[in-house]
Copies of this chain bind each other. A is one copy, B any other.
Amino acid sequence: MQGLSSRAHAFSVEALVGKPCKRMKVSEGHESSSAGDTGSDTSIFTGLHEYPVSQTKKGGSAPRGPEETSCEPQRQTVRSGAEESDADHGGENKPKENDCRPDREVRVELQGSELWKRFYEIGTEMIITKAGRRMFPSVRVKVRNLDPCQQYYIAMDVMPVDSKRYRYVYHSSQWMVAGNTDHSCISPRLYVHPDSPCAGETWMRQVISFDRVKLTNNEMDDKGHIILQSMHKYKPRVHIIQHDPRMDLSQIQSLPAEGVHSFSFPETEFTTVTAYQNQQITKLKIDRNPFAKGFRDPGRNRGVLDGLLESYPWRGPLSLDFKPFTIQLQGSLGSPTSGVKSLLPLSSSSSLHPFSVSALSCQDAALHTLTLPLYGKTSVASSPSTSPLPSRAFSSLGVDRLRGLPPLAPITDLPLLSALQGKKPPHYRDPCLHGSAGSSPCLIPLHSPLGPQGPSLLPHLSDTAGPYCLYRYSFPLNPQLTAISRHAKLAEDTTDCLLRQSPWHPTTNHCL
């Protein structure tokens, strides 16, 4: 389980199997090294029971100077080394189950500190929007030395680092002070972790993630997001709040007067923006945030087609522009009975791959022909998919159904018949066209030459006769070409696929 995002899990599973009020051992790895170690992926802070951090300023104005929050980065070095290992072994002590006073200072470690530092070195920017935007990276912490039996709230807020307004100077790639904050008195919002309240033991057992926090620049926000001003510098704080059963903290909107430990981490400082200023930040965000994968530089992990091109020797004739091209892929066929010939004169290498892709590449016709095998063995369907592509990737390209082609028996087979008759293949559903007597929308048996270039192509296909059924899939040039290549990839993974034996009329080019 990732963090505490699902409260239900915490209750229903992990909490249930855990032994209550028994300190769990957490992996503590490198923390016994110097806490300020920049090579560490965590930052450790200890909180003092006597209030290490300044109180929340209710409805107050922004602090005047940097570091007014009294939980200083320097505090980071207060505890380390020896006491750290003390704590490690102290975890074996029997916790005082009825005594809810923690036996040592509360400690909080920032998770993903390494990533935060990567951003911090460039100058972290966080987008804020009217609707609210998540932070990336998000604040994730591990807490230690809580009383396992005590109930705690854990919350986060975001404090101004100073009362300056900033602007980004492109040519120097730097943030410069651009003025002072107009002190709009917005009471700072406190984000209470959704798992609150929770026993110390449960909190300590896992990473506490604030990834659902959203930042907004909408002062009228009514969704509980944290309200910030654009072009200002901020730093998140994490608060560990002892639950006082006498008080209903379920609706706390500001920190209580006592029993609060607060922590912050220098590398989490960021500047709010409505659009990224520093392109290095953009790049790093795109590179690390899974939701931005669509923007990633394809250089590293290019399209499957590219991968195929590189992994096969026949690269030559293929190109991605409008020029004519031919692909002839080659794979090991499991069945000696499937006699596959080289289908196209343009192909150079030996041709045993179970499908071929060709283009009738008049410059703008974008009409392609795909000869694909019909999977003749059931093992195809049940073989574990080794494709690195999620199947969803096909969806967006609109060619999922190519794969939906079922295993078939020679000719009396119902799915084949339905395909030949222009019905839907079994797995295909199209609610828009449902009920019409339409044909299979994506897999269409090839009946005749397609255009000017068709005849020059088809003889090569038809004279191979018997062992395969030719299907045609037409698609616009580039995106679907990728799709085709993905099918190539699939076929490649399916080493036991067979070409379908289905009748092919050599002169009419009809698939019977």
Interface residues, chain A, with chain B CB atoms under 8 Å away: 6-9, 11-18, 20-21, 149, 151, 189-199, 202, 212, 222-225, 245, 248, 250-253, 294-299, 302-306, 320-322, 362-367, 395-398, 422, 429-439, 441-442, 444, 446-448, 450-452, 472-480, 482
Contacts and interface: CB of A to CB of B under 8 A. Distances in A.
Nearest to A453: B451
A321 B437 contact: yes
B199 A250 contact: yes
A482 B192 contact: no
A434 B479 CA distance: 11
Contacts of A305: 432-433
Q: Interface centre among A149, A397, A441, by most B CB within 10 Å? A: A441
Nearest to A246: B245
Given A430-B482, A433-B478, A474-B475, 19 more contacts: A7-B195, A8-B191, A8-B192, A8-B194, A20-B248, A194-B194, A294-B429, A298-B431, A302-B435, A303-B430, A303-B433, A320-B433, A322-B422, A364-B447, A366-B444, A398-B479, A430-B479, A441-B477, A442-B478
Contacts of A363: 447-448
The prevalent SS among residues of A at the interface is loop
Nearest to A187: B16
A426 to B, nearest CB: 14
Given A18-B251, A151-B248, A363-B448, A222 B433 contact: no
Nearest to A301: B431
A192 B12 contact: yes
5 contacts: A21-B248, A298-B431, A362-B448, A439-B477, A473-B476
A480 B11 CA distance: 48
Contacts of A474: 365-367, 474-476
A87 to B, nearest CB: 23
Given A365-B367, A474-B365, A253 B430 contact: no
A307 B13 CA distance: 49
Contacts of A396: 395-396, 398
A363 to B, nearest CB: 6
A228 to B, nearest CB: 14
Contacts of A224: 8-9, 11-14, 16
Contacts of A212: 6, 8
A451 B305 CA distance: 28
Q: Interface centre among A295, A296, A442, by most B CB within 10 Å? A: A442
A395 B191 CA distance: 35
Contact of A248 (B149, B433, B476): B149
B321 A422 contact: yes
Contacts of A296: 431
A181 B223 CA distance: 49
B432 A304 contact: yes
Contacts of A295: 429, 431
A422 B223 CA distance: 45
A398 B17 CA distance: 47
Given A6-B194, A7-B194, A16-B253, A438 B475 contact: no
A374 to B, nearest CB: 18
Nearest to A432: B303
A250 B191 contact: no
A447 B489 CA distance: 33
Given A320-B433, A451-B451, A472 B364 contact: yes
Q: Interface centre among A251, A362, A436, A482, by most B CB within 10 Å? A: A251
Nearest to A7: B194
A100 to B, nearest CB: 11
B439 A321 contact: yes
B442 A476 contact: yes
Q: Interface centre among A250, A253, A363, by most B CB within 10 Å? A: A250
Contacts of A13: 222-224
A425 to B, nearest CB: 12
B9 A444 contact: no
Given A13-B223, A199-B251, A245-B245, A439 B194 contact: no
Nearest to A485: B432
Contacts of A442: 476, 478-479
A476 B444 contact: yes
A366 B321 CA distance: 21
9 smallest CB-CB distances across A and B, nearest first, come from A303-B432, A12-B224, A13-B224, A7-B194, A441-B478, A245-B245, A398-B398, A15-B251, A11-B192
Q: Interface centre among A9, A363, A476, by most B CB within 10 Å? A: A476
